[in-house]
Chains A and B, each alone.
Chain A
């Protein structure tokens, strides 16, 4: 079974802090994705990566950056956390191509105080 593991289920940080969310997958997937989910807005793509050291902006990249130094690990970085970044963050991975389903982690509920 594919396993996508996010480092924390719940996280509380303060405004202005630098926050790291980590995601690891064990299926040798090329693609990795970071989404945030907010009530009434659905899953929105922040960044994705199709290879090591490659990154592409999604629909809402402002205030975030990412790092992919190894194929299995994709990190989301909030450079200076703000209260409007309080949300549920989901990581996903997949093989390349339109036929490939994405496999999701359990999510990190991040609160910025």
Chain B
């Protein structure tokens, strides 16, 4: 993996269902992996900064895991709610800057 890649590009999930999506990043020279949530008409908001292989972080119904050896991170949302509708961005840290993926656009269907 040379760039940061996210899949799927978009996702529709029924309210109450759980979901997850993937971020792949270059596994060599790893420093940190950031997750952001970007709601329409708002600014991106930091969710997690992950640094250690095997790291798992949680904020309410949202959690994330990290595998630095194989170069991927999963974001999980449990019991989706309408307010979870947003674009979720991951970013790889290197040379004092972030390289962002193109995001996963999540829509929760009431």
Contact = CB atoms under 8 A, between A and B. Distances in A.
A98 B93 contact: yes
Contact of A101 (B43, B49, B99, B101): B49
Nearest to B6: A42
Contacts, number: 55
Interface string A24-46: 00000001010000001111110
A99 B89 contact: no
Contacts of A58: 97
B105 to A, nearest CB: 11
Given A58-B97, A98-B31, A101-B49, A4 B103 contact: no
Interface residues of B, number: 22
Contact of A104 (B43, B93, B99, B102): B43
Contact of B102 (A41, A45, A92, A101): A41
Contacts of A99: 32, 49, 51
A103 B100 CA distance: 14
B1 interface: no
Given A42-B89, A98-B32, A106 B42 contact: yes
Interface string A67-81: 000000000000000
A50 B96 contact: yes
Find the residue from B34, B49, B89, B98 having the highest chain A CB count within 10 A: B98
Interface of B: 31-32, 34, 36, 42-46, 49, 51, 89, 91, 93, 96-103
Interface of A: 4, 31, 33, 40-45, 48, 50, 56, 58-59, 90, 92, 96, 98-107
